[in-house]
Amino acid sequence: MKNKWCLFVVFYVSFHACLCAETLRLVNLVYRHGDRSPIEIFPKDVNQIEKWPQGLGWLSKIGMKQHYALGQLLKTRYIDSGFMKAEYSRYEISIESSDEDRCLMSAYSNLAGMYPPDDDQKFNHDIPWQPIPVHTRPAYEDNMFYQYLGNVSGWDHENISNIWRIADTLYCEKSHNLTVNTWADQKWNNTQTVFEKLRKLENFQFTLLYNGSEMSMLKGGCAFDCPFDQFVKLTKDAVPTDWKRQCGYPEPKGKSGSSGLSTGWIVSIGLTGLLVVVLVVGITCVVKEQRKHANMPYGRFDVSS
């Protein structure tokens, strides 16, 4: 019977694989920079900036080696397996990086491990490396909308985690028919108003905050308007129905026939009762044994003479 079961499993797996075979078509890969020097140094640190030859926030040799090794791993996974060509082709891969030196250097180190050139690709046979473009954009363009909001609102350091402050203020002002700042209704990139973009970013922020059942249960909330019945249906797997049990409250006395005693107390009482029974049985056996010896003919001796 065991052998038949094994054959069934193998057949099922093979049959399932034939029906559901998938082909890899596209890979989106995201990685951080490698090992670097610190971004800041506290004033009384024994290791000051002179210990870091390239300054602060700079990719170290360790970081270069890390990304070179990662590039070799990616080569094994995607090139040696036949998914991509061994020769670099700009039609197959595109690389983008933040406008930070350590990020750009990490990308170049990664590509050096991923695309070691063959003889036909070398522009200098003494250098086992080929230039591969890494695209970036200035930092101010990456955060242009947030910087714009900081300028027009007067608040500094706007980002996805606190963008709701401006969106919420404008929403309340509009709801109460107050005159809002003129920039709120101006077009952004000719596609939507600043207020509309703010609302989308605000909704996205709450999606990040409450994504997943555990986060929903811990923080609560809803990112869209919905009827109460629908809200209950959507959150039934995340919202506890027995809050006292969820929070660890003890069961009340008399409920469901329970005395309200914890498991530890019940075990202790049971062991104590068992010990009493053992003692009673032991004492009874000893007394009977003494009486038995007392009734024997040779149980008494006269040693007075």
pLDDT at 246: 64
- Of 61-70, 73-82, 226-235, 243-252, where does mean pLDDT reach its minimum? 243-252
Please check the confidence at residue 29 and state whether its pLDDT lies above 60.
yes
Instruction: Look up the pTM and report it.
Output: 0.49
pLDDT band for 236, please (50, 70, 90 cuts): confident
Q: If you write DSSP's letter for every residue of 88-107 in order, what string do you get?
A: --TTT---B--S-HHHHHHH
Task: Using the structure block, give the residue that is written with the tokens 């056996």.
Answer: 285
Question: Domain check: are 111 and 145 in the same one?
Answer: no
Please check the confidence at residue 220 and state whether its pLDDT lies above 60.
no
280 domain residue, yes or no = no
Structural domains in the chain (count): 2
Task: Using the structure block, give the residue that is written with the tokens 């590509």.
Answer: 111
Question: Domain check: are 117 and 149 in the same one?
Answer: no
**Orientation angle between helical segments 194-209 and 164-175, nearest 10 degrees:** 120
pLDDT at 216: 56
pLDDT band for 247, please (50, 70, 90 cuts): low
Q: pLDDT digits over 176-196, tens only?
A: 988 899 999 988 877 889 899
Domain-terminating residue out of 90, 122, 137: 137
d(CA 115, CA 79): 9
Closest by CA to 234, choosing from 219, 246, 216, is: 216
Q: Which domain holds residue 125?
A: 27-137
Please check the confidence at residue 9 and state whether its pLDDT lies above 50.
no
192 domain residue, yes or no = yes
CATH number at residue 70: 3.40.50.1240
Mean pLDDT, residues 229-238: 72
115 domain residue, yes or no = yes
185 domain residue, yes or no = yes
Domain-terminating residue out of 91, 108, 137: 137
pLDDT band for 84, please (50, 70, 90 cuts): very high
Question: Domain check: are 131 and 156 in the same one?
Answer: no
Question: Domain check: are 32 and 133 in the same one?
Answer: yes
Question: Domain check: are 182 and 233 in the same one?
Answer: yes
Closest by CA to 58, choosing from 77, 80, 35, is: 35
* Contact (Cβ atoms closer than 8 angstroms) between residue 129 and residue 112: yes
Question: Domain check: are 109 and 179 in the same one?
Answer: no
Closest by CA to 216, choosing from 232, 198, 228, 227, is: 232
pLDDT band for 262, please (50, 70, 90 cuts): low
> Quick one: how far is CA 288 from the chain centroid?
70
Question: Domain check: are 31 and 114 in the same one?
Answer: yes
| Highest mean pLDDT, choosing among 95-99, 261-265, 295-299 | 95-99
261 domain residue, yes or no = no
Q: Is 133 helix (H, G, I), strand (E, B) or coil?
A: coil
pLDDT at 103: 94
272 domain residue, yes or no = no
pLDDT at 161: 78
Question: Domain check: are 107 and 125 in the same one?
Answer: yes
pLDDT band for 101, please (50, 70, 90 cuts): very high
Domain-terminating residue out of 223, 245, 267: 245
8 domain residue, yes or no = no
Task: Using the structure block, give the residue that is written with the tokens 């404008």.
Answer: 170
Average of per-residue pLDDT values in the chain = 78
Task: Using the structure block, give the residue that is written with the tokens 């629908």.
Answer: 230
Question: Domain check: are 55 and 33 in the same one?
Answer: yes
Question: Domain check: are 133 and 81 in the same one?
Answer: yes
Q: pLDDT digits over 124-173, tens only?
A: 999 999 999 999 877 666 677 888 888 888 887 777 778 888 888 898 98
59 domain residue, yes or no = yes
Question: Domain check: are 145 and 132 in the same one?
Answer: no
Mean pLDDT, residues 205-230: 62
Question: Domain check: are 152 and 124 in the same one?
Answer: no
Please check the confidence at residue 301 and state whether its pLDDT lies above 60.
no
Task: Report how far apart, in Å, the C-alpha atoms of 100 and of each of 114, 160, 173, 182 are.
Answer: 21, 20, 39, 35
Query: Which percentage of the chain shows pLDDT scores above 90?
Result: 30
Which amino acid type is present at position 104? L
Please check the confidence at residue 86 and state whether its pLDDT lies above 60.
yes
